[in-house]
Amino acid sequence: MPKWLILIALFVPLASNAATITYDRITTYSNGTPIPSEKVPTIQYRGYSGPNSANPDVLAGTVTDNQAITAPDPDPGGTLWYTVDGTLDGATSGKAAAVSKTVPFLQPAVPKVRAVD
Protein backbone atom coordinates (compact mmCIF):
# COMPACT_ATOMS: atom_id res chain seq x y z
CA MET A 1 0.00 0.00 0.00
CA PRO A 2 1.42 3.42 -0.90
CA LYS A 3 2.52 5.55 2.06
CA TRP A 4 0.54 8.55 0.78
CA LEU A 5 -2.68 6.50 0.97
CA ILE A 6 -2.06 5.82 4.64
CA LEU A 7 -1.54 9.54 5.26
CA ILE A 8 -4.78 10.43 3.50
CA ALA A 9 -6.64 7.92 5.66
CA LEU A 10 -5.33 9.65 8.78
CA PHE A 11 -6.88 12.96 7.73
CA VAL A 12 -10.35 11.72 6.80
CA PRO A 13 -12.77 13.23 9.34
CA LEU A 14 -14.76 10.76 11.40
CA ALA A 15 -18.50 11.07 11.81
CA SER A 16 -19.28 13.17 14.85
CA ASN A 17 -21.79 12.04 17.46
CA ALA A 18 -22.52 15.35 19.09
CA ALA A 19 -25.58 17.37 19.84
CA THR A 20 -25.56 21.06 18.92
CA ILE A 21 -27.39 23.38 21.29
CA THR A 22 -28.55 26.49 19.43
CA TYR A 23 -30.17 29.46 21.16
CA ASP A 24 -31.03 33.13 20.77
CA ARG A 25 -28.70 35.76 22.19
CA ILE A 26 -29.80 37.61 25.31
CA THR A 27 -30.64 41.20 24.39
CA THR A 28 -32.45 42.44 27.53
CA TYR A 29 -31.97 42.33 31.27
CA SER A 30 -34.50 40.37 33.34
CA ASN A 31 -36.49 43.60 33.96
CA GLY A 32 -36.89 44.16 30.21
CA THR A 33 -34.31 46.94 29.89
CA PRO A 34 -32.27 46.54 26.69
CA ILE A 35 -28.66 45.45 27.08
CA PRO A 36 -26.39 47.99 25.31
CA SER A 37 -25.63 46.64 21.83
CA GLU A 38 -21.86 46.74 22.40
CA LYS A 39 -22.25 44.41 25.42
CA VAL A 40 -24.39 41.75 23.70
CA PRO A 41 -21.39 40.10 21.96
CA THR A 42 -19.54 39.89 25.31
CA ILE A 43 -22.11 37.65 27.00
CA GLN A 44 -20.63 34.27 27.89
CA TYR A 45 -23.00 31.34 27.31
CA ARG A 46 -22.68 27.97 29.01
CA GLY A 47 -24.43 24.84 27.75
CA TYR A 48 -25.49 22.02 30.03
CA SER A 49 -26.77 18.48 29.53
CA GLY A 50 -28.25 15.90 31.86
CA PRO A 51 -30.59 12.93 32.16
CA ASN A 52 -33.64 14.85 33.43
CA SER A 53 -35.49 17.98 32.40
CA ALA A 54 -35.58 19.48 35.88
CA ASN A 55 -31.92 20.47 36.04
CA PRO A 56 -29.45 19.53 33.30
CA ASP A 57 -26.24 20.32 35.18
CA VAL A 58 -23.31 18.72 33.36
CA LEU A 59 -21.30 21.51 31.74
CA ALA A 60 -21.22 20.84 28.01
CA GLY A 61 -19.28 23.88 26.83
CA THR A 62 -18.78 27.63 27.09
CA VAL A 63 -18.79 30.15 24.24
CA THR A 64 -18.80 33.91 23.76
CA ASP A 65 -20.40 35.63 20.74
CA ASN A 66 -21.62 32.37 19.26
CA GLN A 67 -25.08 30.83 19.00
CA ALA A 68 -24.17 27.15 19.17
CA ILE A 69 -22.58 24.91 21.78
CA THR A 70 -21.48 21.34 21.10
CA ALA A 71 -22.57 18.82 23.71
CA PRO A 72 -22.47 15.03 24.01
CA ASP A 73 -25.14 12.99 22.25
CA PRO A 74 -27.28 10.60 24.28
CA ASP A 75 -26.31 6.94 24.19
CA PRO A 76 -28.37 4.82 21.74
CA GLY A 77 -31.81 4.33 23.25
CA GLY A 78 -31.28 7.22 25.65
CA THR A 79 -32.43 10.78 26.14
CA LEU A 80 -30.50 13.81 27.35
CA TRP A 81 -31.83 17.25 28.21
CA TYR A 82 -30.01 20.44 27.21
CA THR A 83 -30.13 24.04 28.38
CA VAL A 84 -28.09 27.28 28.31
CA ASP A 85 -27.48 30.23 30.61
CA GLY A 86 -25.65 33.51 30.02
CA THR A 87 -23.28 35.64 32.10
CA LEU A 88 -22.74 39.37 31.65
CA ASP A 89 -20.70 41.60 33.96
CA GLY A 90 -20.53 38.83 36.59
CA ALA A 91 -24.32 38.29 36.71
CA THR A 92 -25.68 34.97 35.43
CA SER A 93 -29.15 34.48 33.99
CA GLY A 94 -31.43 31.63 34.85
CA LYS A 95 -31.25 28.56 32.64
CA ALA A 96 -33.39 28.38 29.52
CA ALA A 97 -36.22 25.85 29.38
CA ALA A 98 -34.61 22.46 28.79
CA VAL A 99 -35.01 20.70 25.43
CA SER A 100 -34.48 16.98 24.92
CA LYS A 101 -32.82 14.81 22.31
CA THR A 102 -33.42 11.06 22.02
CA VAL A 103 -31.24 8.72 20.00
CA PRO A 104 -33.01 5.52 18.96
CA PHE A 105 -31.45 2.08 19.25
CA LEU A 106 -29.80 0.99 16.03
CA GLN A 107 -31.45 -1.98 14.39
CA PRO A 108 -29.61 -4.58 12.37
CA ALA A 109 -30.25 -4.62 8.65
CA VAL A 110 -32.67 -7.16 7.21
CA PRO A 111 -30.94 -10.41 6.30
CA LYS A 112 -30.81 -11.38 2.66
CA VAL A 113 -32.03 -14.86 1.74
CA ARG A 114 -29.56 -16.48 -0.64
CA ALA A 115 -31.52 -19.52 -1.69
CA VAL A 116 -34.02 -22.13 -0.71
CA ASP A 117 -33.21 -25.74 -1.68
pLDDT recorded at residue 17: 65
From the list 91, 88, 94, 95, the residue with the least C-alpha distance to 42 is 88
pLDDT recorded at residue 43: 97
Q: How many domains does the chain have?
A: 1
With 50 as the cut, is the pLDDT of residue 10 above it? no
**Residue 49 lies in domain:** 16-102
Distance (Å, rounded) from C-alpha 38 to C-alpha 30? 18
Is the CB of residue 42 less than 8 Å from the CB of residue 65? yes
From the list 98, 100, 96, 97, the residue with the least C-alpha distance to 26 is 96
Any domain includes 46: yes
Any domain includes 110: no
Any domain includes 24: yes
Q: Which helix (H) or strand (E) holds 22?
A: strand 18-22
- Residue-averaged pLDDT of the chain: 87
CATH number assigned to the domain comprising residue 90? 2.60.40
30-66 per-position pLDDT tens digit: 999 999 999 999 999 999 999 999 989 999 999 998 9
Any domain includes 117: no
Any domain includes 5: no
Any domain includes 4: no
Any domain includes 2: no
Any domain includes 70: yes
| Eight-state DSSP code of residue 13 | P
How large is the average pLDDT for residues 88-95? 96
